[in-house]
Amino acid sequence: MMLEILIFVLRTAFQVLIYAFIFVVIIYVVKDLRGTGQVVEVRRGQKIYQGQCYLKVEHAPGDSGLAGSVLPLGAETRMGRNPKSEIVLSEKVISNNHARIYFDQGQYWLEDLGSTNGTFLNGLPLSEPAVLANGDRIKIGDYIFRLVRWKNEVESDHRVRPGAT
Amino acid sequence: MQGRGRERTLLFIAFIYTLTGGVVLYLREPGESRMLAIAAAVVMFAAFMLLSITWQIKGVGYDQYITPIVSFLTGTGMVFLIRLKPAYGYRQLAWLVVGIAAFYLTTVLVYNYRLLADYKYVIALTGILALLLPIFFGIELGGAKSWLDLGVFNLQPSEFVKLLLVLFLGGYLVENRVLLHSGGDKKYFLPGLRQWGPLLGMWLVSLLVLVFQRDLGTALIYFATFLAMLYVATSRLLYILAGIVMFSIGGVAAYMAVGHVHTRVAIWLNPWLSAQGAGYQLIQSLYAINAGGIVGAGLDAGFPRFIPAVHTDFIFSAICEETGLFGGVGILLVFILLVYRGFKIALASRDDYSEILAAGFTALLGLQVFIIVAGVTKLLPMTGITLPFISYGGSSLVANFILAGMLLNISGETLQHEK
Amino acid sequence: MKNNVRRLAYVIFTGLVAICVYLSLIPYYLKHVPGGGALADPRITARESMIKRGSIYDRAGRVLARSVPQKGGGFVREYPLGSSAAHLIGYYSIKAGSAGLERTRASVLLGLDEGNPLYSLLNRITGKPGVGNDIILTIDAGLQQYVAGLLNGQKGAVVVIDPATGAILASASYPSFDPTRVLDYMNKPDSPLLDRALQGAYPPGSIFKIVTAAGILKDLPGMAGETIHCSGELEVNGFILKDNAVHGNVDFQEAFARSCNVAFGRYGLALGAKNFINLAGTFGISVRPGFPLPLYPGYIPRVDELSGPALASSAIGQGKVLVSPLQAALVACAVANGGEIMKPYLISRYSGPGGFAKTFRPEKWLMPMTPAVAGVLKDEMIAVVKSGTGRAAALPGITVAGKTGSAENPHGKSHAWFVGFAPAEQPRVAVAVVLENQGSGGAKAAPLAREILRRALE
């Protein structure tokens, strides 16, 4: 009798555990999608979530104080001197609306917005929107950014050292 | 270093789940063979935890969901196999150990999987040879002549050829996708051999499998995976339509010529006409699902053994009978999550080869699940393939573990690539 | 390429989700698939050896079916009434499978459905096999046996209903079968396994004049006052509808009492096809009530099939019109019950362990005519038995109302019909009798109906 009851409880648990497993996976997946997952690191007040794409500032003019910081990317990130830009770059050679990074078709795209002095992707001037890949270097004026799509690269990738251009 | 806490949490839930199932089996009928599910739970938990910790220390960025889901599904398979055919428990446990080893070795040895793109024709040749072997030296099991008798155990090369197929197609399609993509636009009516060659080639290989090995399910899987990958590479629906038409022609021809295929289709159309004969198995499968109702009869409380061959092709019906619609849908949801992760990996990959490989492997897995579950529920003709990770069958289990390992490789490739 | 992957993913997800939905439809498919009985589910058998199937009782508690333990485990079914109630109760055996209530209510009898949910849960928790539920029918076992005995040797069917509640008191069909030796009756001539009472499809013949008459009284009361000249045949668009006699000048009452085809053919034409089809529907022809056993729903032609001659012959119950004996009995019920048909029901109660009980109450179903029209028709039907074609149904001291029919059919002599009820003042029993190829309803069916009414009113 007691054994039967125990078996019933375990049987029920067996079935419930199927959904417990699914539930936990879904919770994690939803957290990933909402970008509210595990906080991987906090730098200069900007929280970076796991799976989120961001720019790492490799090099910046000394007075900007941006060097070494990380800038998360949203659906659209405008860069330029315009104070309404998501990333404000205060340097004379940089145009008001210099460039933008936008998300489309599952990819991040870099587009030059007709700047005077140009935007450089991996050393080459950009003429039309280009897909960004992990590790790409973007040069605007004296600023150099590196795109990070995977968290673990920040630590392990040593090809490009801050300041090396 | 990236934390792998989620992976371990999920592995723990999968462990508790398998353990619970194993304990139910043991309590119902204490005995050595019924201990095997518990053993499987422990083996998997220990091995995967070890892997998880290793990966964390190495700092690889492998997907955190694949391993627990595989562990969960394999655990389900062990519990139900031991409940259905305890005699096969030892073998399957041995295969599980081999599978885990293959899984680990895949992540270690094939981390430079990109190199495989250069060997695509070697891979294709190996695959075709492996397919030809059973035709000459094979033995027939369950109506399909696709097994090699290796003395100690039987091997089904076609299970491994699936993986080779994806690897070959990945390399071939990435190399030729521009050509394939533009081909139809200019020479709409006069397509060249280079564009249509692969389609014809795959069609012939599938027919070969169908006619000589009499293995409808494998032929269908090969061809459907091929079409899926072709679509991903070229986004040309024309190829897909042509492929479907060609497969239908091949299928109709097989229906006419191969008695085995003919019977399967006849059963599908009306199993009740041969209720005591050929249709018996499918009807029993439907009865089993029906008997399960919403919550099922309870583990080890139903009568799934009324279904012939329940431990291989029809294991899903047994799951439905004992855990009900609730459990059956649950297992399908777990498969859906696995497929979701697979496609997620494809979408996150940064080059075409990785993307097409991940999509191909995932499509292979998803299509297998669809085709076999549709078969046992009479949505499609029954084709006799295994339910990945769950059905009894060593070749299939090991091959699927390798597939999972490849998905991990692709998901974590960035780091290893740069080392 | 990323978008292609996404589309491929959607296709595969859709496929897998479709299977989830499809899984939940399998029980529905199994319930409704034609030929689904070709293979019995061995699970029921396996459960049968653990669970004692519930018993089936008549209204007074007489056993109609029960399980008795077998040597060597398991149970075997016993049917005290034998072939008398075989069509209703059906059969269950490992070899032959199941039919009738034994099939359609198997899950109730086995306690898999219904029952005290707490009790079932407790059984599940403690790992005990469940206990089956009993089913109590509205049938009167004595009457059922009597009716079956009367019918013995004559192909046909009888349905006896309490018109005030819709409760089926008896329902018999001949030829019948021995529910313990079903295999001997399979593929035999005259289909002994067919329940003619509920599933027989017969042309109703003149009993359908009740329906036509109700339509005239309701929609064309003026026409009921007119006199029609019957010359023995009615010509409609060049087709000739023959009558069984030359009735001369008849009014509505005479036409009904003497069953004049010419007059009723005219009535049908006057009602019109659409009206006539609706009328049949209000009597439950081609309507399916929820019922625990399969029923023949009856057949009425579509509007475009009811040209003049077809309409005239349908109005007298010939042509393509088909009804089951149960439906014929319900027509009588309508007149008996002041114009209202109660929903026919066979199961009065489930009862099971743990104090489980579920009672089925009489339900109103259809209202084909007003009480006033029903009153007029009742008088007509009394006249039929008193002085018309149904004199053989008369009982001393009890007013019987009825209507005879002799339905022509392609299989030989006419089917003999009688529908009626008694006592006319306060009807307690309605009956329908059909005897295949026995000729005149007044001569063959009416005497049988009289004996059934006499026995039922005792």
Q: C197-217, pLDDT tens digit by residue?
A: 999 999 998 899 999 999 988
| Residues in Cβ contact with B201 at an 8 Å cutoff, skipping those fewer than 6 apart | none
CA distance C92 to A153: 71
Residue B27: is its pLDDT beyond 50? yes
Give the minimum alpha-carbon distance from B59 to chain A in angstroms, rounded to a whole number.
8
Residue, of A49 and C86, whose pLDDT is higher: C86
Tell me the pLDDT of chain A averaged across its residues: 76
| DSSP state for residue B258 in the 8-state scheme | -
| DSSP state for residue C426 in the 8-state scheme | S
Which of A4, A105, A106 is nearest residue C126 as measured by Cβ atoms?
A: A4
Interchain pair C39, B283: CB under 8 A? yes
Residue, of B189 and C101, whose pLDDT is higher: C101
Tell me the pLDDT of chain C averaged across its residues: 87
| Residues in Cβ contact with B275 at an 8 Å cutoff, skipping those fewer than 6 apart | B283, C38, C39
Please indicate if any CB of chain A lies within 8 Å of the CB of B296.
yes
CA distance B45 to B15: 6
For chain A, the residue count is 165
- Cβ count near C155 (within 10 Å): 19
Q: In the structure, what pLDDT confidence band is assigned to residue A152 with cuts at 50, 70 and 90?
A: very low
Interchain pair B61, A152: CB under 8 A? yes
CA distance A79 to A88: 6
On chain B, the residues whose CB falls within 8 A of the CB of A106 are 347
CA distance C237 to B153: 84
For chain C, the residue count is 458
Interchain pair C127, A7: CB under 8 A? yes
Give the minimum alpha-carbon distance from A109 to chain B in angstroms, rounded to a whole number.
14
Domain boundary, last residue among C102, C137, C172: C137
Same domain, C112 and C153: no
CA distance C455 to C458: 5
Average pLDDT over residues C164-192: 90
Same domain, C122 and C253: no
CA distance B268 to B282: 8
| DSSP state for residue C322 in the 8-state scheme | B
Provide φ and ψ at B230, rounded to 5°.
-60, -40
Interchain pair A8, C3: CB under 8 A? no
Provide φ and ψ at A103, rounded to 5°.
-105, 125
Lowest mean per-residue pLDDT among B92-96, B187-191, B201-205 = B187-191
Q: In the structure, what pLDDT confidence band is assigned to residue B419 with cuts at 50, 70 and 90?
A: very low
Residue B381: is the preceding peptide bond cis (ω within 30°)?
no
* Cα-based distances in Å from C272 to C102, C238, C279: 44, 18, 10
Interface of B with A in 198-257 (CB under 8 A): none
Find the largest Cα–Cα distance for chain B: 70
Enumerate long-range contacts of C9-15, CB under 8 Å, 24 or more apart: C9/B339, C9/B340, C9/B343, C9/B362, C12/B339, C12/B362, C12/B363, C12/B366, C12/B367, C12/B370, C13/B336, C13/B339, C13/B340, C15/B366, C15/B370, C15/B374
Q: Which amino acid is at C228?
A: I
Interchain pair C41, B359: CB under 8 A? no
Domain boundary, last residue among C106, C121, C137: C137
Which residue in C208, C151, C192 sits closest to C408, CA to CA? C208
Average pLDDT over residues B278-297: 88
Helices C261-271 & C209-219, crossing angle to 10 degrees?
Answer: 50
**Cβ–Cβ < 8 Å for A14, B21:** yes
Lowest mean per-residue pLDDT among B35-44, B355-364, C180-189 = C180-189
Please indicate if any CB of chain C lies within 8 Å of the CB of B199.
no
Average pLDDT over residues B336-342: 95
Residue B184: is its pLDDT beyond 50? no
Residue, of C140 and C118, whose pLDDT is higher: C140
Phi-psi region of A44 (alpha: psi -120 to 50; beta: other; left: phi over 0): left
* Range of the structural domain that residue C88 is part of: 2-137
| DSSP state for residue C54 in the 8-state scheme | P
Which of C4, C38, C46 is nearest residue B231 as measured by Cβ atoms?
A: C4
Q: Match 């981390």 to its residue by tokens.
A: B111
How close are the terminal C-alpha atoms of chain A, in Å?
77
- List the chains bordering chain B where 3 or more Cβ pairs fall under 8 Å: A, C
**Cβ–Cβ < 8 Å for B255, B262:** yes
Same domain, C195 and C60: no
Give the minimum alpha-carbon distance from A42 to chain C in angstroms, rounded to a whole number.
31
Q: In the structure, what pLDDT confidence band is assigned to residue A63 with cuts at 50, 70 and 90?
A: low
Give the minimum alpha-carbon distance from C361 to chain B in angstroms, rounded to a whole number.
29
Helix (H) or strand (E) holding C429: strand C429-435
- Cβ count near B325 (within 10 Å): 19
User: So what's the pLDDT on residue C198?
Assistant: 94
Interchain pair A5, C6: CB under 8 A? no
User: So what's the pLDDT on residue A51?
Assistant: 56
User: So what's the pLDDT on residue A69?
Assistant: 73
Helix (H) or strand (E) holding A58: strand A54-59
Tell me the pLDDT of chain B averaged across its residues: 85
Please indicate if any CB of chain A lies within 8 Å of the CB of B329.
no
List the beta strands (DSSP E) in C269-426.
341-342, 347-352, 356-359, 364-366, 401-409, 412-422
| Residues in Cβ contact with B378 at an 8 Å cutoff, skipping those fewer than 6 apart | B268, B271, B282, B285, B286, C29
Interchain pair A18, B418: CB under 8 A? no
Which of B27, B330, B350 is nearest residue A7 as measured by Cβ atoms?
A: B27
- List the chains bordering chain A where 3 or more Cβ pairs fall under 8 Å: B, C
Average pLDDT over residues C12-23: 94
Residue C192: is its pLDDT beyond 60? yes
Average pLDDT over residues B45-68: 90
Interchain pair C3, A4: CB under 8 A? no
Token pair belonging to C298: 């009856």
Q: In the structure, what pLDDT confidence band is assigned to residue C450 with cuts at 50, 70 and 90?
A: very high
How close are the terminal C-alpha atoms of chain B, in Å?
15
On chain C, the residues whose CB falls within 8 A of the CB of A4 are 125-128
CA distance B347 to B340: 10
- List the chains bordering chain C where 3 or more Cβ pairs fall under 8 Å: A, B
Residue B3: is its pLDDT beyond 80? no
Give me the percent of chain B exceeding a pLDDT of 90. 38
| Residues in Cβ contact with C429 at an 8 Å cutoff, skipping those fewer than 6 apart | C160, C161, C162, C163, C169, C421, C422, C453, C456, C457
Give me the percent of chain C exceeding a pLDDT of 70. 97
Same domain, C154 and C122: no
The pLDDT tens digits for C34-68 are: 766 666 677 776 777 778 889 999 999 999 999 88
User: So what's the pLDDT on residue C204?
Assistant: 92
User: So what's the pLDDT on residue B192?
Assistant: 60
CA distance C89 to C103: 9
**Cβ–Cβ < 8 Å for C105, C90:** no
β partners of residue C433: C158, C418
Same domain, C361 and C294: yes
User: So what's the pLDDT on residue C38?
Assistant: 61
Average pLDDT over residues B323-349: 93
Residue B16: closest CA among chain A residues belongs to which residue? A17
User: So what's the pLDDT on residue C226?
Assistant: 82
Same domain, C70 and C177: no
Enter the ipTM: 0.91
Q: What is the DSSP string of B76-106?
A: HHHHHHHHH-GGGHHHHHHHHHHHHHHHHHH
Q: Which amino acid is at C380?
A: E
β partners of residue C347: C137
**Cα C208-C148-C361 angle, rounded to 5 deg:** 70
Same domain, C52 and C196: no
**Cβ–Cβ < 8 Å for C248, C192:** no
Q: In the structure, what pLDDT confidence band is assigned to residue B144 with cuts at 50, 70 and 90?
A: low
Same domain, C133 and C146: no
Residue C190: is its pLDDT beyond 90? no
User: So what's the pLDDT on residue B187?
Assistant: 43
Domain boundary, last residue among C96, C122, C137: C137
- Cβ count near B98 (within 10 Å): 15
The pLDDT tens digits for B371-416 are: 999 999 999 888 878 899 999 988 999 999 999 999 999 988 543 3
Interchain pair C33, B228: CB under 8 A? no
User: So what's the pLDDT on residue B413?
Assistant: 58
Q: In the structure, what pLDDT confidence band is assigned to residue C441 with cuts at 50, 70 and 90?
A: confident
**Cβ–Cβ < 8 Å for B412, A153:** no
Q: Is C410 exposed, middle or buried (0-12, 13-18, 19+ CB in 10 A)?
A: exposed
The pLDDT tens digits for C261-306 are: 888 888 888 888 888 999 999 999 988 888 889 899 999 988 888 8
Taking the model in full, what pTM does it have? 0.68
The pLDDT tens digits for C211-250 are: 999 998 888 888 877 888 888 788 777 787 778 788 888 8
**What is the number of structural domains in chain C?**
2
Helices C273-282 & C261-271, crossing angle to 10 degrees?
Answer: 100
Give how far the C-alpha of residue B374 lies from the chain's centroid of Cα atoms, to the nearest Å: 14
| CATH number for the domain that contains residue C76 | 3.90.1310.10
Same domain, C115 and C184: no
How many interchain CB pairs under 8 A, A with C?
A: 18
Same domain, C217 and C96: no
Which residue in B66, B65, B102, B96 sits closest to B78, CA to CA? B96
Interchain pair C125, A5: CB under 8 A? yes
CA distance C372 to C335: 10
Q: What is the DSSP string of B328-389?
A: HHHHHHHHHHHHHHHHHHHHH-SSHHHHHHHHHHHHHHHHHHHHHHHHHTTSS-----PPTT
User: So what's the pLDDT on residue A160?
Assistant: 36
Lowest mean per-residue pLDDT among B273-282, B371-380, C36-45, C131-140 = C36-45
Same domain, C129 and C188: no
Same domain, C416 and C431: yes
Residue, of C113 and B45, whose pLDDT is higher: B45
